[in-house]
Amino acid sequence: MAFLRKLSIRSQLLILAACTIVVILVVILHTYSMMSGMITRSHEEYVKQTVSEIKKNVASNHDVIYRIMQDISYNQDVQDYLVETDKLVRYDKFTKLNKYLNGQKDLKEGIEDIIISGNNGTWIDLYGGNRYVVPLRKQLANSKVNGYYAGMQQFDALYGPDKKLIFATSITYSQQGALFNRNVGTAFFIVDAAALVSEQDYSSKETGTQLYLLDRSHQVIASTSSMTTGSDFKGFDFGAANVSNRVIHWKNRSYVVETEPLPDIDGTILSMVPENELFRELLDIRRQELIILGIALLVLAIPFMFIINNILRPLKRLIFFITSIRRGDPLKFKKRIALHGYMEISIVATELNSMLDEIDRLTLSLLDTNTRLYGIELEKKKSELAFLRSQINPHFLYNTLEAITGIAVVEGQDRIKSMTRALSSIFRYSVKGASEVPLSEEIRMIESFIRIQQIRFADRFSVRYELTEQALAYRVPKMILQPLVENAIYHGFEPTLRQGELWIRGFVDADGSLVVRIEDNGTGIQPNVLEELKGMLAAAPSGMHVPAEQRSIGLVNVHNRLRLMFGAESGLRIESTADEGTTIEMTVHERSGPDA
């Protein structure tokens, strides 16, 4: 190849460029061929496995809901209640049915409400959802559909901010007589999305893959993205997505999508992954590219040997310098290169030195960042361990109470069953959930607490609830009412044997503040004790006053807690008359609305 020495620089560079292009094209074709096969197989396997698990779990949960609906629709008490015309008899059946429906609701987590709606206007619900499903009852009144998915609906703040799923089934009278085999009403289940599929079922194990569980109207039931339950899939071509492995353009991005029908709810499981996210497994491919590139460099070494004496001699030192850096020698990495020659090679040397300086700076910054992130991760693990340890005892007590409840049911001990079930509900409420909850959830816990106390005091007192819907939607600190109710029972009713009455009233005043009054007709508070208690409530939260009575500790703590969380306008106010009763008024001043 001596003739190469006689060629012009341009010709030599063209030869070098041609060889380089050929090698690069081979590398690119081979790399993308392997990458396409690997990513496609991995993605298809993941989607197939995940969708199969979701379908199985949805079918299983749907069957549980369907069986519960069937049990209710064919229950003789339910059918008799819907056709009963005598109001007194109907009221007696109402009480019995309410307990029965509560028991059925507890069979499946995620059932928010059970509504029985009769064709003659008779109805019963657990948490006030009947008024929302009246239009649906009219649509299904003459059908004989079992376990029908009726869609999603917003129930204001009754069951939370998200939309809830509605399942319905017609109730056909199965007793002999004039109404035999006739439709007498409809049973509705208000269900949270978690009742069909839990977050663990559809959590994405593959970066970038988005899974959506959609109903027949293409509304989101559950997803791995930020889209909430009830969101509409707008601008998406479902017709094109019905063919597997199709590329769909949506929201200015290209997605590889797969769809799978979900016949249990007439819905669809949609998997989406951005095309650019499919190249996340480039690490293995890149390693193979380096091997191929090394072989290619050996091939290119032959033409380079003839060209280097003409124009690439200065590059020899540059290549040697770069090679020494790639070996990872820290001392050589600190060195800098100085090349003297034509302008282009000098610019390369200058830019390389600048790049090495920047690498030094970025390396130090990266090490510092990694050190800080490692420390943060350690602290996070310590916090998680402490949290798990704190959960052991409450969960142990909760499980023990559930076991006692089961034994009480077997032994026929209804009072023990009621007390342990109520106490179990209180434990579950105190362990799970956020620190602030709607007042409706707090009232449910109070109902369980009062149920225990009524059994303990042999029904020596009764309770009445008068709370507005606006008040029930207001968010309050968890366990804020329990000390107030406990104070009324233990200090108002326990010292006396006469029949007591307890009122729990709640409303939102004109200023937007929540007002809850706990009133009793018990023994009341002596004037001197009442004045001392009022003085303690008027003191600053940091005051070191020692309470005159044990009951003052809980009241002062609640008062200080409200003032610290919601401002000085919030807190407790107490009025009492000896031997006549006590009224405790709790005010929660709004911060940014009831849902703040």
Q: How many domains does the chain have?
A: 3
* 416 within domain boundaries: yes
pLDDT of residue 485: 93
Q: In this structure, what is the dihedral angle of CA atoms 223, 226, 231, 236, given to the nearest 10 degrees? A: -80
pLDDT score of 471: 94
* pLDDT per position as a tens digit, 350-374: 777 788 778 778 888 888 777 767 7
Residues 124 and 163 reside in one and the same domain: yes
414: confidence class by pLDDT, cuts 50, 70, 90: confident
- Distant-in-sequence, close-in-space partners of 244: CB < 8 Å, separation ≥ 6: 258, 259
Give the domain-ending residue among 432, 448, 471.
432
Q: Between vectors from CA 207 to CA 205 and to CA 210, what angle results, nearest 5°? A: 80
User: Which of 116-130, 162-176, 505-519 has the highest mean predicted lDDT (pLDDT)?
Assistant: 505-519
Strands 111-118 and 183-191, bridge-based pairing: antiparallel
Burial readout 216-247 (b: 16 or more C-beta within 10 A, e: otherwise):
eebbbbbbbeeeebbbebeebeeeebeeeeee
Q: How confident is the model at residue 385 (pLDDT cuts 50, 70, 90)?
A: very low
Token digits of residue 501? 């009455």
What is the DSSP code string of 518-562? EEE-SS---HHHHHHHHHHHHS-TT--PPPSSTHHHHHHHHHHHH
Q: What is the pLDDT of residue 521?
A: 93
Do 170 and 93 reside in the same domain of the chain?
yes
Stretch among 137-141, 215-219, 416-420 having the lowest mean pLDDT: 137-141
Mean pLDDT of the chain: 78
Q: pLDDT exceeding 70 applies to what percent of the chain?
A: 74
pLDDT at 311: 62
Order the strands of the 123-125 sheet from edge to edge: 123-125, 111-118, 183-191, 164-172, 148-153
* 522 or 19, higher pLDDT: 522
Same domain, 543 and 483: yes
Cβ(525)–Cβ(531) below 8 Å: no
DSSP state of 227: P
Q: pLDDT: is 410 or 178 the higher one? A: 178
Identify whether the C-beta of residue 229 lies closer than 8 Å to the C-beta of residue 193. Answer: yes
Per the listing, tokens 């409200």 go with 562
Residue 523: per-residue pLDDT: 92
Gap between the Cα atoms of 463 and 469, Å rounded? 19
- Residue 105's domain spans which residues? 74-195
**Band of pLDDT at residue 512, cut at 50, 70 and 90:** very high
- Stretch 413-432: mean pLDDT, rounded? 77
User: Does 124 reside within a domain?
Assistant: yes
Q: What 3-state DSSP class applies to 511?
A: coil
Minimum mean pLDDT range among 16-30, 77-91, 125-139, 192-206: 192-206
Please check whether residue 203 is in contact with residue 209, taking contact to mean a CB–CB distance below 8 angstroms.
Answer: no
In terms of domains, do 358 and 471 share one?
no
- State the pLDDT at residue 564: 83
Section 315-321 average pLDDT: 69
| Same domain membership, residue 363 and residue 474 | no
Residue 4 within any structural domain of the chain: no
When pLDDT is cut at 50, 70 and 90, the band that residue 500 belongs to is very high
Query: What's the CATH number where 499 sits?
Result: 3.30.565.10
- pLDDT, position 447: 92
What letter represents residue 391's amino acid? Answer: Q
- On the question of pLDDT at 9 being above 80, the answer is no
Q: What is the mean pLDDT of residues 438-450?
A: 92
Task: Please write the tens of the pLDDT for every residue from 577-591.
Answer: 988 999 999 999 976
- The helix (H) or strand (E) run that includes residue 172 is strand 164-172
The answer on 410 and 362 residing in a single domain is: yes
CB distance 219 to 230 below 8 Å: yes
Are 482 and 423 found together in one domain?
Answer: no
Task: Tell me which DSSP letter residue 228 carries.
Answer: P
* Phi-psi label, residue 465: left if phi above 0, alpha if psi -120 to 50, beta otherwise: beta
Residue 464's pLDDT band, with cuts at 50, 70 and 90, is: very high
pLDDT(131) > 70: yes
Task: Give mean pLDDT, residues 198-203.
Answer: 62
Residue 579 lies in a domain: yes
Q: Is residue 273 part of a domain?
A: no
Answer yes or no: is pLDDT of 172 > 70.
Answer: yes
Tell me which of 195, 210, 242 is where a domain ends: 195
**Burial degree of 37 (CB within 10 A; 0-12, 13-18, 19+):** exposed
For residues 473 and 419, membership in a common domain is answered with no
Residues 428 and 464 in one domain: no
- The confidence score (pLDDT) of residue 387 equals 42
Residues 582 and 463 in one domain: yes
- Residue 388: the pLDDT is 41
Residue 41 lies in a domain: no
* 152-156, 422-426, 476-480, range with the lowest pLDDT: 422-426
Is 222 within a domain?
A: no
Is the pLDDT score of 389 beyond 80? Answer: no
DSSP H/E element including 16: helix 9-73
Least confident of 181-185, 247-251, 398-402: 398-402
Q: pLDDT confidence of 575, banded at 50, 70, 90?
A: very high
Say if residue 94 is in the same domain as residue 171.
yes
Q: What is the mean pLDDT of residues 555-581?
A: 88
pLDDT interval class at 118 (50, 70, 90): confident
What pLDDT does 286 receive?
A: 66
Same domain, 467 and 428: no
Instruction: At 236, list the tokens.
Output: 């998406």
In a domain, 218, yes or no: no
Which value, in Å, is the radius of gyration of the alpha carbons in the chain?
A: 36
**Which of residues 195, 215, 233 is at a domain's end?**
195
Q: What is the pLDDT of residue 391?
A: 43
**pLDDT reported for residue 545:** 45
CATH of the domain at 166: 3.30.450.20
- Mean pLDDT, residues 553-573: 86
